[in-house]
Amino acid sequence: MMDQKEPTKREQAKRAKRQLIVRCAMTCFIENGIAQTGIRDIADRAQISLGNLYNHFASKDELIAEIAQIEAADLTRLIADVTAGLAFEDFIPHYLEQVATPEHAILSIEILAAALRQPALAKPFDANRKTLINALSAHTKAKPAEIEMILDAVEALGMRCGLAQRKPKRAEIEGLRKMTAALA
């Protein structure tokens, strides 16, 4: 096993700046929409120069791809729970919690709209979903198409809750769990 050396202060600062830019981009996308947000808006929000932003990201599309990587990391944690033995029906509330925030709902709609205009933007998000479906399929009796329908239901409920700025109701969660239990 190779020892990983500690990142230098410069590397840490660079990583922190990238994270700041991504957070600011997400805030701008949520508040104004992806199509209406320019790179200058993101730089202004991050309080950095346009050139500094371009040192980290060549385009708005690269920022969206970085958001897909963040989503992938979040899904990796959920997949690890399933791999460790979390039952499919118990996975559902965890996933719902992740997708039911107002920020997630709005950002999802914005990314979907941007992907309709530029289909290449959807590729990393589609790959994330496929990874999740494959992981769930490997640990349940459910077929990928069945898992996809459950995920669609969870995401739809999450979006409705996020946009209404409310938590999912117990009955809604239990309904999803019952649907899922039949496939586990």
Which residues lie below 8 Å from residue 142, measured CB to CB, with a gap of 6+? 88, 136, 150, 183, 184
- Tens digits of residue pLDDT in 78-122: 999 999 998 888 899 999 999 999 999 999 999 999 999 999 999
Please tell me whether residues 49 and 76 are part of one structural domain. no
Give the range of the structural domain holding residue 50, as residue numbers without chain letter.
Answer: 7-58
Please tell me whether residues 30 and 100 are part of one structural domain. no
Please tell me whether residues 95 and 121 are part of one structural domain. yes
Identify the residue with better confidence: 44 or 180: 44
Please tell me whether residues 140 and 69 are part of one structural domain. yes
- Tens digits of residue pLDDT in 155-175: 999 999 999 999 999 999 999
Residue 181 covered by a domain: yes
End-of-domain residue from the set 42, 58, 74: 58
Residue 153 covered by a domain: yes
